Chains A and B, each alone.
Chain A
């Protein structure tokens, strides 16, 4: 990733964009929340954010692909399920509780976060552990900006995240055939959580997050496999020990706590050396591209793992 790359606004890709200011967003989102359940994407409201220096100079994955090709097992295991089965999900009102080893535990209202946090647009690569990838214009703010507000204690070494548990709104959480234990949980080492590339996202492509992408607030850690990016976060907790993480609990030999993108360390059942770029390579395309170490963010994050055996800590 280079910081001096020419900035291509995605407004060239999706031209008709009317940006509301944040107060208007809040009003619109409120109205949209009232209309949820009638219209699937009623929650999508325009969101203003200043372009960030963190932008990869690669073709954006079309919005349609970003919002309809998802792994969000709470809504079903098919890639198309989240977009289709998330209509009843109500992302507003929403609060995020921050607790644990902190001086000032607090509950944040999502509207407050959207209004007060420094929203930026960041164009990141997203590499799924299943060997496909996208390039997504996220809107969000650095996780560190939020975490600093609660004043973590010196004993805090890790940050644990918990997603939402709402079987009545999330069909994947109902029924006898459960793929994972709910709610979904994830975690980061404190230095990973505080890294400037780590963001909490509240939108993409100039609008609030669609339900299928983890509305209303989700984690984005661009140098790690996508499953680390926990969606629909309700609780963030500072802890001393490495917290449990959902896919690691499901198959510890296949999904590690770190889950850094690494073309050298294969998943036991498939190769991680290459990837397919969704929505771009098409049917008769060139097939695959090489996966980059740390998903191309090595310059910024490799030092976090200096001296670590990345085969052992996969």
Chain B
């Protein structure tokens, strides 16, 4: 995303630590859970149902990266701290984890039984919804580069609003894939709901903050 040129009157701060750090360690760190769980799974460390556990953990991390991606804007709105530099990495990691989650289901759980996989995707609402989330991440992942941003212009922003649908699909996929209403999927759904809800109220909030917030108060006083 392009940051607009700030008005000259804005105070100039020294760049914060989080904007000086490079992005590549995010990718490196983000892959650690997947590698670690794979190692545990392969060595008998994932309990009585290792395939299900592995699948589940990869799914959880997909949701976590989606949540982190969606947190960048509210954090900036509320605190002024901009982590936008890392957002592409976080979004891409959500896609990679989603892809690994699906691969684990396809390879380890269903052992490439395509008839069942196709049937599952077509017939089981929670798998259909999960699959929808994954498929919708493909155009987002493909266009997560500078060339696409330049090329697509304002359409890029419109396209990337799909991440809201993806996050909702992910949370729903989790909640309807389980028996009853256990706490964990409900908590994730609540977090996603709050993050999506924020998109509805952030514009008035940001405007209000600019006019009546502490910064406006000090500059006028």
Q: Which positions in A face B, CB cutoff 8 Å?
A: 62, 64-65, 68-69, 71, 73, 77-80, 129-130, 132, 177, 179-180, 247, 250-251, 266, 269-271, 273-274, 276, 278-279, 281-288
Instruction: Given A269-B124, A271-B116, A287-B109, verify A79-B48 contact (CB < 8 Å).
Output: yes
Closest to B110 in A: A287
List chain B residues, Cβ under 8 A from A180: 180
Given contact pairs A129-B179, A247-B179, enumerate 5 new A-B contacts (beta carbons under 8 Å).
A68-B48, A269-B126, A271-B120, A278-B48, A288-B113
B48, B119, B125, B186: the one contacting A271 at CB < 8 Å is B119
Contacts of B109 in A (CB 8 A): 276, 287-288
A271 contacts across to B, CB distance below 8 A: 116, 119-120, 123-124
Measured between beta carbons, the chain B residues less than 8 angstroms from A266 are 123
Which residues of the other chain, A, contact B183 by a CB distance below 8 angstroms? 77, 177
Contacts A77-B180, A179-B181, A283-B42; A69 near B47 (Cβ below 8 A): yes
List the B residue with the shortest CB-CB distance to A227.
B179
Total number of residue pairs linking A and B with CB closer than 8 Å: 83
Q: Which residues of the partner chain A approach B108 to less than 8 Å between Cβ atoms?
A: 283-284, 287
Which residue on chain B has the smallest CB distance to residue A274? B116
In the complex, which of the residues B41, B49, B120 contacts A278, with contact meaning CB atoms closer than 8 Å?
B49
Give A80 to B53 CA distance when docked, in angstroms. Answer: 11
**CB of B197 closer than 8 Å to a CB of A:** no
Q: Which of A69, A73, A269 interacts with B48 by CB under 8 Å?
A: A69
On chain B, the number of residues with a Cβ less than 8 Å from chain A's Cβ atoms is 33
For chain B, residues 167 to 213, give those with C-beta under 8 angstroms from any C-beta of chain A: 176-177, 179-184, 186
Nearest chain A residue, comparing its CB with the CB of B43: A283
CB within 8 A of A179: which of B42, B113, B180?
A: B180
Shortest distance between the CB of B38 and any CB in chain A (Å): 9
Q: Which residues of chain B are near A64, meaning CB under 8 Å?
A: 48
Inter-chain CA distance A283–B108, complex, in Å, is: 7
Contact: A283 with B54, CB < 8 Å? Answer: yes
Closest beta carbon of chain B to A134's beta carbon, Å: 9
Q: Within the complex, what minimum Cβ distance (angstroms) separates A224 from chain B?
A: 16
A-B contact pairs, 8 of them (CB 8 A): A69-B47, A130-B179, A177-B186, A266-B123, A269-B124, A286-B111, A288-B109, A288-B113
| A250, chain B: closest CB distance, angstroms | 6
Question: B125-144, CB under 8 A of A: which get 1 and which 0?
Answer: 11100000000000000000
Chain A residue nearest in CB terms to B119: A271
Report the 7 A-B pairs with minimum CB-CB distance, sorted nearest first: A287-B111, A65-B48, A69-B48, A77-B182, A283-B41, A179-B180, A283-B50
CB distance from A59 to the nearest CB of B (A): 14
Interface membership of B162, Cβ < 8 A: no
In the complex the two chains form, is B113's CB within 8 Å of A287's CB?
Answer: yes
Q: Which residues of A contact B50 (CB under 8 A)?
A: 282-283
Return B189 CB to nearest CB of chain A, in Å: 13
A175 to chain B, nearest CB (A): 9
Q: From residue B185, how far is it (CB to closest CB) to chain A in Å? A: 10
Is the beta-carbon distance between A273 and B116 smaller than 8 angstroms? yes
What chain A residues lie within 8 Å of B52 (beta carbons)? 132, 276
Complex Cα distance A284/B51, Å? Answer: 8
Q: 8 Å CB contacts to A: which residues of B43-72?
A: 44, 46-52, 54
Measured between alpha carbons, how far is A283 from B44 in the docked complex, in Å? 8
How far apart sit A177 and B180, CA to CA, in the bound complex (Å)? Answer: 12
What residues on B are CB-neighbors of A247 within 8 Å?
A: 179
What's the nearest-Cβ distance from chain B to residue A302, in Å? 26
Compute how far the CA of A284 lies from the CA of B54 in the bound complex, rounded to whole angstroms: 12
Q: Measured between C-beta atoms, what is the minimum distance from B200 to chain A in Å?
A: 27
A278 contacts across to B, CB distance below 8 A:
48-49
- B42: min CB distance to chain A, Å: 6
- The CA of A298 and the CA of B176, in the complex, are separated in Å by 31
- How far is B117's CA from A287's CA once the two chains are assembled, in angstroms? 13
Is the Cβ of B110 less than 8 Å from the Cβ of A288?
yes
- Residues of chain A contacted by B127 (CB below 8 angstroms): 270
The CA-CA distance from A68 to B119 in the complex, in Å, is 32
Residue ID in chain B nearest A61 by CB atoms: B48
- What are the residues of chain A within 8 A of B179 when measuring CB–CB? 71, 129-130, 247
B126 proximity list for chain A (CB < 8 A): 269-270
Q: Which residues of B contact A269 (CB under 8 A)?
A: 124-126, 176-177
Least Cβ–Cβ distance between A97 and chain B, in angstroms: 28
Contacts of A282 in B (CB 8 A): 44, 50
- Report the minimal beta-carbon distance from B63 to chain A, rounded to whole angstroms: 17
Q: What 0/1 readout, one digit per residue, does chain B (79-117) give for beta carbons within 8 Å of chain A? A: 000000000000000000000000000001111010010
A79 and B47 contact, CB distance less than 8 A: yes
Q: What's the nearest-Cβ distance from chain A to residue B44, in Å? A: 8
Residues A73 and B180 in contact in the complex (CB < 8 Å), given A269-B126, A273-B116: yes
